[in-house]
Chains A and B, each alone.
Chain A
Amino acid sequence: MKKYIISVCITLGFLFGWTLFTLVSSNIGTTVEFGVIGYDPRNLLSGHYLTYTVMYEDDAKELKGINRFYIPEKYAADLDRALRSGEYDTKIKVLITPSGRAYVKEMFFDGVGAVEFAKNYPL
């Protein structure tokens, strides 16, 4: 019995430890906003997401891992169309931790959060 308990505890320990680390570190740091242009592909594991090119300011350092914003399937087509059309001012809010890790916190279409935008502005 012992070996089975140890094996699941190690797996769950690393899994929850990683999730907790992500949860904590994604809430400590400073937030900045960047303009974006992009489109919507699908990931088999985590679902639909919008991917984009970040428009950095001239002096801004390029950040890793912020080119993806996951969205619910039912809004994917509308948000994809909105992003591709280029008619809306699209931005992402990014949190940068003291160690330099970056997390995407929200995506905006004309200043409105992505999901709210899709709910209230049917395209």
Chain B
Amino acid sequence: MKIAKKLAIWAENGLISKEQKNTILDFEAARAAGNKWLFFGLLTAACLAVGIGVISIIAYNWADIAPWLKLSVGALILGGLAAAYVKTASSEKDILAHVFLTLFFLGVLGYIGLTAQIFHLNSHPHRGVLFWLAISTPLAFTSKRGFVPLVWAWGMLITIPCELLVYEPVQSFFEWLTKDISYKAGLLGGLAFSAMCAQIIPPLFNKFKNIKWGAQTFFAASLFALTAVFIIFSFFGDGWRFYGRLEPNFYYLLLVAVFLIVGVWRAKSERKILAALALTVFAGTAFYLQAENLGAFFNGAYFLLFAALMAAYFEVRGSKKWCNVFVFIICAKLVAMYAQLSSGLLGFGVSMITSGVVAIALIILWHKYIGAARGWLAQRLSGGAK
């Protein structure tokens, strides 16, 4: 029996008050929403694995298959995914609609790559992505879930400046700022520009909350990254690393202190995670300064630890969307680390698709049957205790 029904019966029979019933319902709704963010983060990462796998198989370039056949099969698959998305989205089947939309969205990118491959097209690297995002605009604006709007907003905010930099006057201005004046001036200019855009751009999408959220996260991340890069560059000076020379330095301590300073105004539970983050940055930076080459495993593990702490921090703060961003980043990094195990585009594509499909199936089954499985297990355990 659903909890809402149970609570209604209990309230009717005077076991609990109406206020208590509503408080429990609100608590359960918030908890379920939190779980769904994790669920959709994992599901999206699995879809991403399938999409990357399909793109790799296209990139393998099957010379023995006629171009018209490749284009037709691609068009049929895209048509099928589009139809499946429309059908599931219209019948409010959120989970399947999200899977089909993500696959369709990535499929469109794959088809652009296929066309470029067949006709040997060549242009600036960002233009293919910009074209993909531009024609996917309606998908981003009608999506119920955050992934497509997030990629759309981040992609647009990266590729539009790239497109502007192709043009001579913008390029000259950028070179003047970063080379003639200094790269620090360029970073500070970037910070000021990002801060200004953060005030102007997200409110333009007030009616589309997912797009607005995408723009907000982009500017928050760019402000954080530019500040970190500015501090790191100031610390390192003109060189990238000073191997074997770890000296206490104002900027180094500032990099660590940021998390501790933020912690002063936070609750105790948040302070613990911020202290762990400060320690991670402190130790990680020390390792990076001391060692010449730490290897891919150390880099991956360090990145995962940092992202996991960030996810935990936002979970504790109750920022489900930011927590989900970091869960997704962790999943994407794991997918990337896993991808490094296979060599060659064909093997890579097949393994990504296989594991992506298996992961999607397992995640959906887990979501659907976890409650029943827990109940069954509890029953068995209590039966065994008797």
Interface residue ranges, A against B (CB under 8 Å): 1, 3-8, 10-12, 14-16, 18-19, 22-23, 26, 43-49, 65-73, 75, 103-105, 115
Contact = CB atoms under 8 A, between A and B. Distances in A.
Given A15-B135, A43-B59, A72-B62, A65 B121 contact: yes
B250 to A, nearest CB: 40
Contacts of A23: 71, 119
The list of the 5 closest CB pairs from A to B, nearest first, reads A47-B59, A7-B138, A45-B113, A68-B122, A1-B90
Interface in B323-372: 344-346
Interface stretch (B20-28, B74-82, B264-272, B292-300): B74-82
Contacts of A16: 75
Given A11-B108, A11-B138, A12-B78, A1 B86 contact: yes
A47 B128 contact: no
Given A8-B82, A73-B346, A45 B111 contact: no
B187 interface: no
10 contacts: A14-B135, A15-B135, A23-B71, A45-B55, A45-B128, A47-B345, A48-B61, A68-B121, A72-B61, A73-B59
B104 A8 contact: yes
B122 A73 contact: no
A73 to B, nearest CB: 5
Given A5-B86, A72-B63, 7 more contacts: A10-B138, A11-B138, A15-B78, A18-B115, A45-B55, A45-B112, A71-B61
A49 B63 CA distance: 13
Contacts of B128: 45
Contacts of B89: 1, 4
Contacts of A67: 122
Interface of B: 55, 58-63, 71, 75, 78-79, 82, 85-86, 89-90, 104, 108-123, 128, 131, 134-139, 141-142, 344-346
B90 A22 contact: no
Contacts of B90: 1, 4
B138 A44 contact: no
Contacts of A26: 119
Nearest to A114: B63
A11 B139 contact: yes
Nearest to A50: B120
Contacts of B119: 22-23, 26, 103
Contacts of B134: 14
Contacts of B58: 46-47
B107 to A, nearest CB: 10
Given A8-B104, A11-B136, A66 B122 contact: yes
A12 B86 contact: no
A25 to B, nearest CB: 9
Contacts of A104: 120
Contact of A7 (B62, B121, B131, B141): B141
B85 A19 contact: no
A73 B61 contact: yes
A12 B141 contact: no
B63 A46 contact: no
Nearest to B135: A14
A45 B116 contact: yes
A82 B153 CA distance: 43
Contacts of A69: 120
B59 A45 contact: yes
B115 A22 contact: yes
B61 A70 contact: yes
A9 B66 CA distance: 26
Contacts of A46: 58-59, 61, 113-114, 116-117
Contacts of B122: 65-68
Contacts of A103: 119-121
A12 B116 contact: no
Given A65-B123, A72-B60, A72-B62, A7 B139 contact: yes
A68 B120 CA distance: 6
A18 B118 CA distance: 13
Nearest to B82: A8
Nearest to B97: A4
A92 to B, nearest CB: 9
Nearest to B111: A15
B85 A8 contact: yes
